[in-house]
């Protein structure tokens, strides 16, 4: 929601009027707080504006009280209204505090759904910083979201694997949950989320593989040669529910320079739905975008969300630091998932992170069943994942 700055206003006053923490207002606006021009638009996060038609007997005071706001809030949104002369039938802007999830993430979550939900979140919570870290083979943006201003950066990502797109829906719900909780001061599982804002920066790439996700959900792309090629690589079938790779048939979680040769030696040698590691590490733009982000991100820990198995992989070649075990035990406690130190797997994102940074990296396998996991599991998966998502901030 935007208000127009009046003579004598301050962002601190807005914080008081709307009961929104000042740092969230500051981070929602690229403004010098002590030098704001009269008439400048200022974003107030966590509110939307609704229209209201004045009825006989209405007063601004009573309308403000109904929203739990001081009358100045209504004056800010209705600069031309004379308070004691409300005309019956005239239109007022009423600020409405958002106390619900503004995006519905329980749906087939393709790249268009992601973009439209991120637009909605950016509108209501402009303190969420958004940029694109790269683009897919088909030119679709790969967005990164950041919340918080802390020195410790925690990174999480989803949908490295195409048919594991429910991980994106889970992450975007958490983004909404976190923002909602920050604005309103409502705890999540007893945790005051505002304590994290100045301490932790959350970095999230909810959909690493947009082309693959769209292939699984929407079917064949229009673009040649990919339309013909993926059909061939999929054995002529238009059912892509088993597809994990990107649109070039490369498994993006087999693309990282962490014993890549070992992974390549035992995996398919041709493009296909899964496990083909490419002709070398980091040949695919989606993997390159993730590598560049990670090299510049100074991440304290990374969580890569996959499905399925209800397990958490936390080791790689004994290179993981001792705190990895402490953290994974907390993840297991809050989710009921099983920690697994190592499996016969190389060239994964978390493998590479552990190898090159010697910091905690995790592959978290949400849910149980056959990919893509059905949306009927969404509620349970979110509840289990939520414990891990929260613990990643406080551990």
Residue owning tokens 């994106």:
168
Helix, coil or strand: residue 321:
coil
DSSP assignments along 268-311, one per residue: -SS--SS----SSTT-SHHHHHHHHHHHHH-EEEEEEEEESSSE
Residue range at the interface with Zn ion (CB under 5 A); choices 63-71, 163-171, 278-286, 339-347: 163-171
Burial of 66 (0-12, 13-18, 19+ CB in 10 A): exposed
CA distance 313 to 319: 13
The answer to whether the peptide bond before residue 349 is cis (omega within 30 degrees of 0) is no
- Dihedral class, residue 213 (left if φ above 0, else alpha if ψ from -120 to 50, else beta): alpha
Question: Are 86 and 58 contacting, i.e. CB atoms less than 8 angstroms apart?
Answer: yes
Part in contact with Zn ion (CB under 5 A); list of ranges 161-169, 173-181, 261-269, 335-343: 161-169
Choices 18-26, 75-83, 136-144, 155-163; region in contact with Zn ion by CB under 5 A: 155-163
CB 253 → Zn ion: shortest distance, Å? 6
Q: Which is closer to Zn ion, CB of 28 or CB of 136? A: 136
Distance CA 364, CA 101 (A): 25
- Which residue's Cβ lies closest to Zn ion? 306
Q: Which is nearer to Zn ion, 150 or 309 (CB)?
A: 309
# binding residues, Zn ion (CB under 5 A): 3
User: How open is the CA angle 85-61-3, to the nearest 5 degrees?
Assistant: 85
> Which one of residues 161, 173, 274, 384 is an interface residue with Zn ion (CB under 5 A)?
161
To Zn ion, the closest distance from the beta carbon of 308 in angstroms equals 8
Give the CA-trace dihedral at 190, 341, 142, 241, to 10 degrees: -100
Distance CA 81, CA 78 (A): 6
What residue has token string 């201003």? Answer: 149
- What is residue 130's three-state secondary structure? strand
User: Residue 140 or 161: which CB sits closer to Zn ion?
Assistant: 161
- CA 223 distance to own-chain centroid: 28
Any alpha helices (H) in 67-165, and if so which ranges? Answer: 71-77, 111-124
Comparing CB distances to Zn ion, the nearer of 45 and 361 is 361
- Stretch near Zn ion under the rule CB under 5 A, chosen from 44-52, 62-70, 75-83, 159-167: 159-167
**Window 276 to 335, contacts with Zn ion (CB under 5 A):** 306
The answer to whether residue 97 forms part of the interface with Zn ion (CB under 5 A) is no
Distance in Å, CB of 167 to Zn ion, minimum: 8
* 286, 310, 365, 380: the active-site residue: 365
CA distance linking residue 184 with residue 318, whole number of Å: 43
Q: How far is the CB of 126 from Zn ion (least distance, A)?
A: 33
Closest approach, Cβ 274 to Zn ion, in A, equals 9
Which residues, 6+ apart, have CB-to-CB distance to 82 below 8 Å? Answer: none
- Report in angstroms how near the CB of residue 225 gets to Zn ion at its nearest: 26
Annotated active-site residue 310? The verdict is no
Q: Which is nearer to Zn ion, 9 or 164 (CB)?
A: 164
Residue with smaller CB distance to Zn ion, 166 or 300: 166
Q: Which is nearer to Zn ion, 163 or 294 (CB)?
A: 163
Stretch of 153-161, 176-184, 225-233, 323-331 contacting Zn ion, by CB under 5 A: 153-161
Minimum distance between the CB of residue 352 and Zn ion, rounded to whole angstroms? Answer: 15
Residues assigned a catalytic role: 365
Contact residues for Zn ion (CB under 5 A)? 161, 164, 306
């Amino acid at each position: 929601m935007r208000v127009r700055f009046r003579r004598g206003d301050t962002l601190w006053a807005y914080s008081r009027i709307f009961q929104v923490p000042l740092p969230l207002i500051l981070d929602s606006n690229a403004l010098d707080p002590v030098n704001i021009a009269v008439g400048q638009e200022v974003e107030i996060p966590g509110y939307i504006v609704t229209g209201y038609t004045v009825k006989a007997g209405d007063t601004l005071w009573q309308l403000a009280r109904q929203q739990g706001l001081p009358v100045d809030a209504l004056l800010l949104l209705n600069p031309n209204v004379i308070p004691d002369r409300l005309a019956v039938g005239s239109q007022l802007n009423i600020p409405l505090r958002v106390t619900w999830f503004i995006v519905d993430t329980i749906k087939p979550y393709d790249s268009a759904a992601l973009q439209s939900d991120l637009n909605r979140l950016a509108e209501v919570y402009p303190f969420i910083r958004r940029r694109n870290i790269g683009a897919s083979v088909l030119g679709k943006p790969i967005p990164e979201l950041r919340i918080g201003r802390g020195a410790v950066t925690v990174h999480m990502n989803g949908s490295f694997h195409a048919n594991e797109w429910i991980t994106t829906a889970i992450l975007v719900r958490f983004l909404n949950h976190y923002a909602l909780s920050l604005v309103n001061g409502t705890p999540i599982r007893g945790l005051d989320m505002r304590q994290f804002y100045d301490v932790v920066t959350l970095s999230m790439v909810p959909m690493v593989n947009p082309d693959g996700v769209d292939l699984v959900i929407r079917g064949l792309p229009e673009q040649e040669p990919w339309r013909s090629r993926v059909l061939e690589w999929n054995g002529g079938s238009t059912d892509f529910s088993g597809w994990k790779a990107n649109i070039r048939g490369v498994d993006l979680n087999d693309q990282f320079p962490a014993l890549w040769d070992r992974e390549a030696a035992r995996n398919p040698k041709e493009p296909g739905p899964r496990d083909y590691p490419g002709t070398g590490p980091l040949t695919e733009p989606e993997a390159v975008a993730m590598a560049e982000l990670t090299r510049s991100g100074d991440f304290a820990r990374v969580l890569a969300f996959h499905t399925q198995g209800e397990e958490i992989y936390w080791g790689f070649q004994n290179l993981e630091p001792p705190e990895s075990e402490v953290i994974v035990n907390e993840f297991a406690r809050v989710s009921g998932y099983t920690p697994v130190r190592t499996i016969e797997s190389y060239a994964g994102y978390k493998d590479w992170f552990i190898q090159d940074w010697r910091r905690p990296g995790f592959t978290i396998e949400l849910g149980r069943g056959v990919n893509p996991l059905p949306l009927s599991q969404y509620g349970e998966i979110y509840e289990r994942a939520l414990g891990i998502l929260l613990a990643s901030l406080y551990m």
